């Protein structure tokens, strides 16, 4: 069976979601920031918005260049990832 990158990537819906989740959990500064959002109703969306407008990070992409606003991102999975931190 051939993996279809559009529908699954290492257990994630797609490569973009996998990459954002990996970045959230493996970048020390980002991880510590994300932990502060775990009790928000939409932790990923809140974190993402604050990253864009925040005075220190002004971050819109992962280190690999995946946009935090990529329309293919599985927001529910990213919310769950942050809630588990």
State the total domains in the chain.
1
Q: Is residue 76, in this structure, part of any structural domain at all?
A: yes
- Can you tell me which residue has the tokens 């990996």? 22
Q: Is residue 26, in this structure, part of any structural domain at all?
A: yes
Q: Is residue 35, in this structure, part of any structural domain at all?
A: yes
Q: Is residue 7, in this structure, part of any structural domain at all?
A: no
Q: Is the pTM of this model over 0.95?
A: no
Q: What is the mean pLDDT of the chain?
A: 88
The parent domain of residue 74 ranges over 15-83
Q: Is residue 27, in this structure, part of any structural domain at all?
A: yes
Q: Is residue 19, in this structure, part of any structural domain at all?
A: yes
Q: Is residue 32, in this structure, part of any structural domain at all?
A: yes
* pLDDT above 70 (res 19): yes
What's the confidence (pLDDT) of residue 11? Answer: 87
Burial state string for 29-40 with b = 16 or more CB within 10 A and e = fewer than 16:
ebeebbeebeee
Q: Is residue 56, in this structure, part of any structural domain at all?
A: yes
> What pLDDT digit, counting tens, does each position of 29-84 carry?
899 999 999 999 999 999 999 888 876 667 889 989 999 999 999 999 999 999 99
In terms of Cβ atoms closer than 10 Å to its own Cβ (0-12, 13-18, 19+), residue 70 is middle
């Amino acid at each position: 069976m051939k993996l279809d990158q559009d529908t699954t990537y290492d257990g994630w819906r797609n490569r973009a979601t996998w990459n954002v989740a990996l970045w959230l959990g493996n970048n020390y500064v980002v991880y510590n920031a994300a932990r502060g959002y775990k009790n928000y109703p939409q932790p990923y969306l809140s974190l993402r918005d604050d990253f864009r407008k925040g005075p220190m990070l002004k971050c819109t992409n992962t280190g690999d260049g995946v946009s935090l606003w990529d329309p293919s991102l599985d927001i529910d999975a990213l919310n769950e990832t942050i809630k588990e931190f």
